[in-house]
Every structure is written in structure tokens, then in C-alpha cells.
Structure 1
Amino acid sequence: MLTRRAALFGAAGIAAAPLIATAAKAEEAMTPVAAPADLSKLKRIKRELVAPPFVHEHEQVAPGDPRIVEFEMEIVEKEIEVDRGAYLQGMTFNGSIPGPMMVVHQDDYVELTLINPARNMLQHNVDFHAATGGLGGGALTLVNPGEKTVLRFKATRSGTFVYHCAPGGPMIPWHVAAGMVGTIMVLPREGLSDHKGRPVTYDRVYYIGENEFYIPKDEKGNYKRYADVGESYPDTEEVMNGLIPSHVVFNGAVGALTGDKALTAKVGEKVLFVHSQGNRDTRPHLIGGHGDLVWEHGKFSNVPDRDLETWFIRGGSAGAALYEFLQPGLYAYVNHNLIEAVNLGATAHVKVEGAWNNDLMEQVVAPTEMIS
């Protein structure tokens, strides 16, 4: 089944057409035939999603029995200025890159209403790495422009998990590289625990989504700009297949988490950093700090690593690191491929307020001119 605007994309429409048809057939083949689950006795709660790096209101310890947690998410295709003069024809969940982070507890039910407005050009869906069956929900959430669907799944495993768009074939890497990646955090019902099984809480949580973009250039070396997402496809595919990104960024753009958009904290606060990457491996590092507790694989049922300087996030996954800030100042949170951090954009800043502790670090002698 072609989208209503497939004829408008030129080469993109031609490339997408058989994939859209295949995806639609897959959706029909996966139509459930079992009796609906009876969850009528479960309490329902609705959560309003917020744009990263922030996370919607949630409890760290489950307040009672499992619940059905309702979310609503709209797909937005739009142009995004990734850097000065560099524009991405983006595809997003709820208008942000990365998509918003959802938080539930293990054994809760996630109920997502996914909306694909008629103004969009392409089919979209959601593959939840936290879900079981039906291509992570991808086979049951494929929506054309002008359609919406509702998916419910049980969050059976705790941890941080990626979700992304996966409409089929070469559309999958294109949609992911255009920004359609997010994270769901499934907390243990009793909350987080440290390496000795003791309860752990956080004062703040920040979600950092790392993306690599492949923005084409013209023969003069200037970034090209397109009228819509469909027009951008042929050139973008060619750049993507070269596997050399033009940008590697946190939260959708160079400088998205620096300057007046920097993250904030206070001395003595414990901050949970959740970090995702949809495609490529990355190595988060907090300059001047550490990972006190790190769930490198993102799975809270595993014992966390301790005192890491740099940790590893595999492509297609999300991990979490907890750190208690001990000194004030400006911290850089980076991908420790420093070429990607400094030259391509994968840097965030954390402004920390509080009193300096000379016992931890002291400038014994200020820089002075050497006399020969």
C-alpha cells in the first residue's frame, strides 16, 4: 500500500514503494488472532512525554501493583538545523531528536497511541527493543499518513532499551539516521540497586541521545538543502552508504546541550545519565567525573560496574550511568572518540553549583612566567 504522497518523492518514492507494500503485507500477516487480554482490573495512568534531555514525571519505586501506562506520540517530519548552514530533513518522534524517553516499571503495560498526521509523506512504525513479539511492535504499528494505531506490550525486563522506526528494507537505516530513535527505561519495581543490592536513588535524570547524520554536499563542498524529506532520500542514501557521517551529535544538533542549553546539577546530587545510540558504538565519558555505578548494557537486573572512567554503548542499545557530583564547575560529557566530540559535535556540558573542595583538587601554584 502506497502512501498518499509516494508519487511526490521521485526516486525516494520509487525506492520506497515495494518496501511499503511489503511492510503492509507483514502488518496484515501479524494481525493477532488470539482473544484480547483481560486487563480490566488494572489501574491506568497517563504520562505526558517531554522533550529530551528531560524525562516525564515518574516514581523511582513502583507505588503498587502493575499498571497500564498510557503514552501518546506523534510522528513529525521536519527540517532541522543540525549546525550553521547544515540542514537535515528529519524524521522524529514527537518532534525531537532523540524521541522522548518513556519510563515504566517492570511488569507494567506500555500502551502507546502512535499518530502519523496526514501532512507527513511516509509510513512509520515503532520497534521497541523492550517488547516481545511482532518485530518489537513494528509489525503492528505501521501507519500511513493520516492514520493512528494503539499498541500495548508488557515490560517484562528491566533496563534501558532503544526504540526506533523500522518500516522495512533500506527505509530502516534512513529513518533511524534521520532521527527516529528513542529510549524506554523500565525500572525494577523496587527501584535501582547498587553492586551490593542496596537501594539507589537519583536526584536528576538526563537522557542523551547520540545520532550520526549524513547530510549531502554539493560539488562546491556546501551542504545541500531540500524541499522535503522525500527529495533528500537519493543523495542521503549515497552518503549513508559511505558510512562517514557529516555530524555526530547529542540531542539532534551541534551545541544542543551546551551554552545556555547545558545540563545543570548541584554538588551532592546524584545524576542518572541515560545514553542511547541507534546505529554506531559510542564511548561516553564525563570529564572531571566518573561513572559511580554503570549499567553499561543498560540492564538493571545485572550488577552495575563501578568507578568507570569511560563506558561503552553498543549501537542499537542504551545504557545508564549514575554519578554523584563532588565539585562545582563546568563538566564536559563527551563521546570519547574526541574527533567526534570536538570536530563533529558529540559534546554536552553540565554546569554544577556548589562549594569547591580543595581536598579533592587544589591549584597549589597558579601559572606564572618562568624566569630563565
Structure 2
Amino acid sequence: MPAMNKPVIAGIVAGVLLAGFAVLSPITGLNFDVEAQSTGTTKKVTLIADEVDVQVAPDNALHPGGVMYRAMVFNGTIPGPVISVDQGDTIEFTLINEGEVIHSIDFHAGHGPNDAVGANASATGSTVRSGESVTWTWKPPFAGVFFYHCGADGLNGVWEHIANGMYGGIVVHPPNEQPAKEFYVVFGEIYSNNVEGVFTQANGTGSFDVAQFLTGNPDIVMTNGMAHRYVPALGAIAKIDINPNATIFQVKPGELTRWYIVNAGPNDGIAFHFISGMIDVRDGSIKNRYGTQLKNDETWWIPPGSGSVIEATFPQEGVYVGVDHAMNDVVKGAAFAVLATPDATDDDHPPGTMVPPRGSDRVTSPTTFEETRPAAEQAEEFEPPTGEATTETTNATDTGNQTGTGNETDTAGNETSSAAGNDTNTNSTG
């Protein structure tokens, strides 16, 4: 009998294993189809594309006077709002372009060209000229957190639109998700022509620097649209004030927290780590639940254009810090503070970071990130909303309010609208 080579043997073994799984699946309950059944619920989502000036670094020793930047945005902020749906929901999505250049959308949660970028089944399917809009319906099939971003003009310039801040995250909750306090955090890089380095004042309002982009040297790494947005200071003895107007995340000692960490890139990965903490990572999915990649580990790599579901409990009272463990990125802004305290409540999320839980009628956070003005001015003027403001988007030229992600819910064909009969959308004015 002639000897068989290793590739042939490997092929036979692989065939036997696959056949075995096919036979065993009905018996053992193994099922590799992770797409969920329809919930019968349709959620309406609206994003408005525009170009605005935003503050991407606070006034501190690293960046005296702060850093202003000409950004491309969804709904007025970097990042765009979290979009939160349940596995099996249908999304009726509308993109309105109030900017001066062509914009579009790419949903990494989509499975097939129609889902990811629109009804034309191509990478240019969602391309929207200034003053126009596009609407289509799709269903995200898999549980997890996924990146969404502008695809520019049929991918022409997509690198610049992402680098300019036009991105966000979509959360798809599985049916049997365990309740937890949930947070939305997006990391993103800025390549600006007005920043000459740390400890130097920026020169006016910056814009995209393609040379720095191509050499992979970002000036700033933002957390939810600003360097060190959630870091008041560094140091215990030799203390450095970083952001006097910073808000921080608060959790109760021992409670389960779930962090939807999105890495917008556009170039670098995130080595995500909680200082003094351990993490469980649920990346990818298994039928009707998140997949589990590792438990009780220290650091998890999130590549650009991706997101991971990170779960953690903080056992003792005190301060923990979430970081990109690449230390140059920490200096550039990639860190946030978490305070474990018995005084934490279920609804004390920093603005824009709350993720509507599974089963919620909401699609996005009830508040958004602060308007990007000088930090002292924000601290003086910002007041948390006392109620839930709503507005209706009628066309692409109505700019009276920055309109947030809509959250009209249609369950089994029955629409739930505001008292006036209008689609209910979340106001995104902070």
C-alpha cells in the first residue's frame, strides 16, 4: 500500500471531522447558524452628516490652549451616537447630508452589500450628495459591537473621512444577555496640520494632514472625541492637571459592567487594558449570545475598524483606568478614569456613553457628548437635560437642531410615535 503524503491525510481527517459535526449537530444541539430570528420590531435610525469645528484636546500642559480641528461628523459630534438594537430587529436607516461634500455610510454589522451600505448592492450604494438623503431597511444578524463609518464617495477618500471623525458604533444585543451597567467608548486618531508636538500651542484650527496619515503618526488619540476627555489629572506626588472639566465613569464595586470598545483607527490597533482590573472578552458570537474569547485576562487587541465587548467587575473601591497600553497613545489621549464607589447609580453615565439595554424602545443614549467648545465655557454653560427632547427631521435643510438617532419603534407593524403623530428622534444638542 503506497504511503500517503501529509496534505492528503490532513484533507481526509478534515473531511471526517466536518462530516462528524454534520452528524452530531442534531444530536448534541450544536448549531453554527448564528443569525437570529426576527423580533418583529423595526427601529428607525437617522444620522446627519456634516463638517464642523470641534475641540479635540483640552487646554493643558500637553496642548496649551487646547486643539481645534475641522472635523467630519455624524449628528454633530465625534464619535457619532451609539446605535443600540436587539438581535433580530429591523433597522430603517436614513442618512441625511447637510455637509458640503459627498458622504455615505458603511455598517460593519451588515452581512451583504445591501445591509452594509445601502440598497444598490455596492460600495457606493449609500453615497449621498450635499442636501440629499437616502433611506433603506436592513437587519443586523449577529450579536456584538460593530464599527460604522462614512465611506466617502464610493470609497474615494474614505481614509480622510474616518480620520476626520466620521464614525461610531452599533451594539446588537443577544436575546439572553445578562444585565450589566453598559458604556460606549470609541478610540480614534487625529492627524492635524496645526499641531507641532506636545507642549506647543496649536496654530489655529487644524485640518487633515495626509503626510502624517501616511507615515502613521497621529497627533492625538481621542476617547469619545477628545484626548483625555475622562482624565482629570495624572500623578500622585508630581501631579499634572490634564482636564479640569473631565467627567469620569462611575461603577459600584463588584457590579458587572459591559464596555463596548470601538477602535475607529484609522491606522493603529488598541491594546485595551484596565489598570488594576481584569477583563472578560466577548468577541464574535455564538447562536443567540456573545462569543467568549478569553476570561480573566489583562489586555485585548482591537484592530482598527473593529469593536469588542469587554466585561469587567471592579472588586474594590477606588480608581481604575482604561487605557490603550501603547504608552505613546496614552500620552496622546487614549485613557479614561473609572471610579468604583458605592455612590454610583444606574444612570450616572457621562453624556453620550449610556447604551440602551436589550428590550429598550430607545435606539441611542438620551444625552450626547458635550458640544465641542472651550472646556471652561462648557463647564459654565452645560446643564444636564431635565427631560427627553424630541424633534422631527423633515428634510436635509432643516438645521434648527442637531438631530440625533431616531428611536421610533414599530413592533409587529404597529408604529409607536410621539403624541403629535411625528416620528420621535433624540435631540443631539447635548
Give the TM-score, by structure 2 length: 0.59
Aligned amino acid, residue 353 of structure 1: T
Structure 1 residue aligned with 2:102: 123
How far is 1:144 from its partner?
1.6
SS in 1 for 2:125: coil
Contact kept in structure 1, 2:93 and 2:136, CA below 8 Å? yes
Does 2:213 correspond to 1:266?
Answer: no
Instruction: Provide the alpha-carbon RMSD of the alignment.
Output: 2.5
| AA aligned opposite 2:271 | R
Per the alignment, residue 285 of structure 1 pairs with: 273
One of 19, 33, 44 as aligned partner of 1:70: 44
2:270 is paired with a residue whose SS is coil
* Alignment match, 1:148: 133
- 2:270 and 2:285 map into 1 onto residues whose CA distance is 14
* Partner residue in 2 for 1:241: 214
Aligned partners of 2:224 and 2:97: how far apart in 1? 22
Q: CA separation in 2, counterparts of 1:301 and 1:325?
A: 21
Partner of 2:150: 165
Q: Contact 1:296–1:313 at 8 Å: present in 2 too?
A: no
The 8 Å contact of residues 327 and 354 in structure 1, kept in 2 or not, is answered as no
The 3-state SS of whatever aligns with 2:292 is coil
**Residues 349 and 301 of structure 1: CA distance in aligned 2, closer, same or farther (over 3 Å):** closer
Corresponding residue for 1:96? 77
1:276 deviation in Å?
0.8
CA contact (8 A) 1:296 1:311 kept: no
Could you tell me whether the CA contact under 8 Å between 1:210 and 1:249 is conserved in 2? yes
1:209–1:250: 8 Å Cα contact kept in structure 2?
yes
Q: Matched residues in 1 for 2:309 and 2:144: separation?
A: 9
Partner of 2:170: 184
Distance 1:97 1:302 in 2: 29
Structure 1 position 141, deviation (Å): 2.0
SS of residue paired to 2:109: coil
Could you tell me how far apart the structure 2 residues matched to 1:125 and 1:104 are?
21
Distance in 2 (CA, whole Å) between partners of 1:139 and 1:219 is 36
User: What code does the residue aligned with 2:306 have?
Assistant: S
Alignment of 1:286-365 (within 5 A): 286-291=274-279, 293-297=280-284, 300-341=289-330, 343-354=331-342
Return the TM-score normalized by structure 1.
0.68
* C-alpha distance in 2 between matches for 1:318 and 1:336: 16
- 2: CA distance between counterparts of 1:121 and 1:70? 25
| Structure 1 residue 327, shift from structure 2 partner | 0.9
Q: Tell me which of 90, 95, 106 is aligned to 2:87.
A: 106
Which whole-Å deviations, capped at 9, do the CAs of 1:175-226 have from their partners, x for residues lacking one? 00111111111121x233xxxxxxx321x11111000110114889753434
Letter in 1 for 2:172: V
**Paired AA for residue 78 in structure 1:** V
What amino acid does structure 2 have at the position aligned with 1:201?
P
The answer for unaligned runs of 5 or more in structure 1 is: 1-61, 193-199, 356-372
- Could you tell me how far 1:353 is from its partner in structure 2? 0.6
Q: Which residue of structure 2 aligns with residue 201 of structure 1?
A: 179
Task: Give the Cα–Cα distance (whole angstroms) in 2 for the partners of residues 257 and 328 of structure 1.
Answer: 18
Q: Which runs of 5+ in 2 are unaligned?
A: 1-35, 60-65, 118-122, 233-245, 344-430
Distance 1:149 1:272 in 2: 33
1: CA distance, partners of 2:195 / 2:67: 12
3-state DSSP of counterpart to 1:268: coil
2:97/2:129 contact within 8 Å kept: yes
Question: What amino acid maps onto 1:172 in structure 2?
Answer: V
Distance 1:297 1:315 in 2: 16
Q: How far does residue 250 in structure 1 lie from its aligned partner after superposition?
A: 0.8
Letter paired with 1:254: A
State the structure with bigger RCO (CA 8 A, min sep 6), 1 or 2: 2
Distance of 1:76 and 1:68 partners within structure 2: 26
Shift of 1:103: 1.3
For residue 303 of structure 1, report the CA deviation from its aligned partner. 2.9
Residues 124, 155 of structure 2: 8 Å contact kept: no
Q: In 1, distance between residues paired with 2:39 and 2:69?
A: 44
The code of the aligned residue for 2:73 comes to T
**CA distance in 2: counterparts of 1:219 and 1:271, whole angstroms:** 38
Distance 2:187 2:196 in 1: 29
2:235 matched residue in structure 1: none
Count residues in correspondence. 275
Residues 271-309 of structure 1 deviation map (CA, whole Å, 9 limit, x = unaligned):
111111122211111111111x21245775423421011
Q: Deviations over 1:108-153 (max 9, x none)?
A: 1111121112xx2111111001113337215332112211221211
